[in-house]
Amino acid sequence: MARTKHSKKDIEAALKHAEEHGWRIELSNGHPYGKMYCPSIPKLPGNAGFSKTISH
């Protein structure tokens, strides 16, 4: 299922760029818009990844 577009075009462009580079976007049901998670790198032990909250 495709995610809904962010209302701010600059943020939407950044989200698309992140997705093209393997980041995963999880939408929330309210505020904030969602979270984005970097792809973990299996070659690095203990790499739990990184998340960033996305506001409206």
Q: How close are the terminal C-alpha atoms of the chain, in Å?
A: 21
Instruction: Tell me the residue length of the chain.
Output: 56
What average pLDDT does range 29-51 have in this prediction? 72
In this predicted structure, the answer to whether residue 33 has a pLDDT above a threshold of 80 is yes
User: Residue 10: which pLDDT band, with cuts at 50, 70 and 90?
Assistant: very high
Alpha-carbon gap, residue 49 to 40, rounded angstroms: 5
Alpha-carbon gap, residue 41 to 56, rounded angstroms: 29
Alpha-carbon gap, residue 1 to 4, rounded angstroms: 9
In this predicted structure, the answer to whether residue 1 has a pLDDT above a threshold of 60 is no
Radius of gyration of the chain from Cα atoms?
12
User: Residue 31: which pLDDT band, with cuts at 50, 70 and 90?
Assistant: confident
